[in-house]
């Protein structure tokens, strides 16, 4: 996607930011600035690399900027950012993570989570209905929690979860079992089999040389292989899956299908 950023940035341009560490992989500036341009909105979204140790200080400073209207949140801040907003909206409260925050009329900053909705919408738009699927997911961090909740709400038949942090993995399984009593949620293995879809919700694949987040050797060729990493667009997981004959689902589908929702959250109407 290419576009010419509106050159008329001026004193009344509204500012939005995306914060993460690393940040070079973020595609949100491209997507959101294209939306602003298409809508004729005098606004710009800029990337900001903020390490975890500086997050609280940086966010406190950003909140004082009068023309900063909203922040998109990416790896690794989605969970820790919940303590830096004044109020969590319903999905964020349930998931315990946010991927966007905005200033409301009272001056409060509120946070919400749309990763899960973006993922399930993206699946459906690509012709993959999650209801009734048996799903394996790697990753129980901020995005992983959002996806697991959304898949459970969507009515998957079974959901297997793994995370390198066993405590985080087990906590999410217990959380989902409580929130969705009819859901069949369990711990998976690093070599999944007998499922309809596998999902990478970890950062594995963002950097060259990263190991695969899980082994795909036992998967039937009919299994859908999904990744939520935006850059590279085709991770090693997706490349190897494609070589084996699997259908693949790209990370950009999540972003593209939640961007309009987040823009609306920021007060930018659909066009």
78 belongs to the catalytic site:
yes
Helix axes 252-265, 115-125, angle to 10 degrees: 130
CB 199 within 8 A of CB 136: yes
Residue 270: exposure state from Cβ atoms within 10 A (0-12, 13-18, ≥19): exposed
Structure tokens given for 268: 């930018």
Helix (H, G, I), strand (E, B) or coil at 15: strand
Active site residue: 63, 78, 125, 168, which one?
78
Buried b (16+ CB within 10 A) or exposed e, 46-67: ebeebeeeebeebbeebbeeee
Structure tokens given for 233: 């667009």
The dihedral over CA atoms of 174, 75, 257, 236, expressed in degrees to the nearest 10, equals -90
Active site residues: 78
């Amino acid at each position: 996607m290419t576009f010419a950023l509106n050159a008329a940035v001026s004193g009344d341009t509204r500012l939005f930011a995306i914060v993460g560490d690393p940040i070079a992989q973020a595609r949100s500036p491209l997507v959101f600035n294209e939306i602003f341009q298409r809508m004729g909105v005098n606004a710009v979204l800029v990337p900001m690399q903020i390490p975890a140790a500086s997050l609280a200080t940086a966010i406190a400073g950003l909140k004082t900027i009068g023309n900063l209207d909203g922040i998109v949140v990416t790896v690794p801040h989605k969970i820790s950012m919940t303590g830096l907003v004044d109020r969590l909206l319903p999905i964020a409260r349930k998931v315990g993570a946010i991927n966007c925050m905005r200033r409301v009329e009272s001056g409060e900053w509120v946070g919400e989570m749309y990763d899960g909705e973006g993922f399930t919408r993206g699946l459906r738009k690509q012709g993959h209905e999650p209801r009734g699927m048996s799903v394996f997911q790697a990753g129980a961090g901020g995005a992983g929690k959002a996806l697991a909740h959304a898949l459970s709400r969507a009515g998957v038949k079974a959901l297997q979860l793994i995370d390198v942090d066993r405590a985080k993995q087990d906590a999410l399984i217990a959380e989902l079992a409580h929130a969705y009593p009819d859901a069949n949620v369990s711990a998976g293995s690093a070599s999944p089999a007998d499922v309809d879809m596998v999902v990478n919700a970890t950062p594995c694949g963002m950097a060259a040389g990263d190991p695969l987040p899980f082994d795909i050797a036992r998967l039937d060729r009919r299994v859908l292989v999904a990744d939520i990493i935006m850059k590279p667009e085709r991770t090693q997981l997706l490349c190897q899956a494609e070589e084996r004959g699997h259908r693949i689902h790209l990370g950009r589908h999540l972003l593209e299908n939640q961007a309009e929702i987040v823009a609306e959250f920021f007060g930018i109407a659909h066009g």
